[in-house]
Structure 1
Amino acid sequence: MAKPIILLLAALSILYTASPANAATTSSPSSSANIEFIEASCSATLYPALCVQSLSRYATSIQRNRSQLIKTAFSVSLDEAQSTKAIFASKLNGVKPGGMAVVKDCIEQIGDAVDQLRESIEELKSIGQAKGSGQDLRRLHISNAQTWTSAALTDISTCTDAVAGEARDGGLETSVRARVDGVAQVTSNALALLNKFGTEL
């Protein structure tokens, strides 16, 4: 009697494993696997902890897709730059007269960085559209995105240096200065991810 029961259990096990519902469960990436993918990818950046923190909230949409990871990193950078520009604009009335020129310059520089990050994102979109058109065209879009992002980092760094100088006179709040540093760091992370994994897009 034991042998038929064993055969029956084996058959049920095979049917369970092959069932569509179970197949969907085993093939669907788990949340922890998505986070691990982000952590492993972020190890290529200068600010890995910030990278994981800023991207982990999008783990469900990123899953384990390099292209989506990089696009999300650039979107985070753009959002941070836009909000920082708005914060600088809101602080104009509270800045000492001597720091007014610095703040206005920073608003302009961050505004330029916003435009450059938008250009980078457009280049990333073009990479996907260029699939099947040859490696040379894809490499061109990757190179363009790298160039735009490097230019954005230069503008942000110029603002960072100016704000650091003005901070000695107490003209700017610590939180505002920290925001500029944050934009520089998430942008640096986005560029590092593109440099590391761009060929996989």
Structure 2
Amino acid sequence: MAKPKPSLPFSFFLLFLLLSLTITPSQSFVPNHPIPAPTSFIVSSCRATRYPALCVHCLAAYGGAIQRSDHHLAQAALIVSLARARSAASFVAKLSQARRIKLRELRAVRDCVENMGDSVDGLADSVRELGRSGRDVGRDFTWHMSNVETWVSAALTDENTCMNGFGGRAMDGAVKVAVRQRVVDVAQVTSNALALVNRFASRHRPVTVAAGEP
């Protein structure tokens, strides 16, 4: 399958998204201007995700950059997920230094700090790798996309592992609520990003012909 033509130079696309993300926990990375109506392409694409309403909400502001590019859509979803993961990781790291925190909660928080750090690393690697995939076709494309899918899936596992550390009624309390509020949101956004990455890969991965077939 022919490589899809990007609607604008990819480096400019990444720069646009990185500059337009407002990294403030209270606004959950929603740009500090009214969100435009989502494009039909974003709405229809987000139906492939587990949390379609959240998907549309996160990506609607970038419709002009995404246009109708599966590649740009997946890249935008990963960048938003990375930004939220970084904010959640920073919050949890600060929480690990809080006073008057129970020992079992402190242990869970410290484990979560490590999990979220791994998640951030995996998502950052995925953003870079997906950028490289847009310049390749054939076996190179398949290799890049396999890396991206593996790393995003691992990042999602890290996020869920963080929350698993707060399982059980003994962990109920303000610390668990605060961590859950941020990390569950990140996990949902990452789940959506993974679905859009898988969708892009399945649409553009080259078709292999078995030996002996015409």
TM-score between the two structures when normalised by the length of structure 1: 0.77
- Aligned counterpart, 1:115: 121
* Between 86-95 and 149-158, the greater mean CA deviation after superposition: 86-95
* 1:98 and 2:101 aligned: no
Q: Any unmatched runs of 5+ in structure 2? A: 1-35, 206-214
- Aligned counterpart, 1:78: 82
Aligned-partner residue type, residue 194 of structure 1: V
Report if the CA contact (8 A) 1:102-1:166 is conserved.
no
Q: How far, CA to CA, are the matches of 1:97 and 1:149 in structure 2? A: 31
SS in structure 2 of the partner of residue 191 of structure 1: helix
Report if the CA contact (8 A) 1:99-1:171 is conserved.
no
- Aligned counterpart, 1:161: 164
* 1:38 and 2:42 aligned: yes
* 1:185 and 2:191 aligned: no
* Between 168-177 and 52-61, the greater mean CA deviation after superposition: 168-177
Report if the CA contact (8 A) 2:105-2:171 is conserved.
no
- Aligned counterpart, 1:26: none
- Aligned with residue 61 of structure 1, among 65, 69, 72: 65
- Aligned with residue 149 of structure 2, among 143, 146, 150: 146
Q: Any unmatched runs of 5+ in structure 1? A: 1-30
Deviation at 1:122, TM superposition (A): 1.5
Deviation at 1:129, TM superposition (A): 2.4
Q: Percent identity of the aligned residues?
A: 44
User: Which of structure 1's runs of 4+ aligned residues deviate more than 4 A?
Assistant: none
Aligned-partner residue type, residue 108 of structure 1: E
Larger Rg: 1
Q: How far, CA to CA, are the matches of 2:170 and 2:135 in structure 1? A: 45
Deviation at 1:97, TM superposition (A): 2.4
Distance 1:96 1:51, change over 3 A: same
Q: How far, CA to CA, are the matches of 2:126 and 2:59 in structure 1? A: 18
Deviation at 1:147, TM superposition (A): 0.6
SS in structure 1 of the partner of residue 134 of structure 2: helix
Distance 1:113 1:168, change over 3 A: same
Aligned-partner residue type, residue 143 of structure 1: S
Report if the CA contact (8 A) 1:149-1:191 is conserved.
yes
Q: CA RMSD in A?
A: 1.9
Report if the CA contact (8 A) 1:99-1:166 is conserved.
no
TM-score between the two structures when normalised by the length of structure 2: 0.72
* Between 71-80 and 61-70, the greater mean CA deviation after superposition: 61-70
Deviation at 1:143, TM superposition (A): 0.8
Aligned-partner residue type, residue 59 of structure 2: L
Distance 1:101 1:55, change over 3 A: same
Deviation at 1:158, TM superposition (A): 0.6
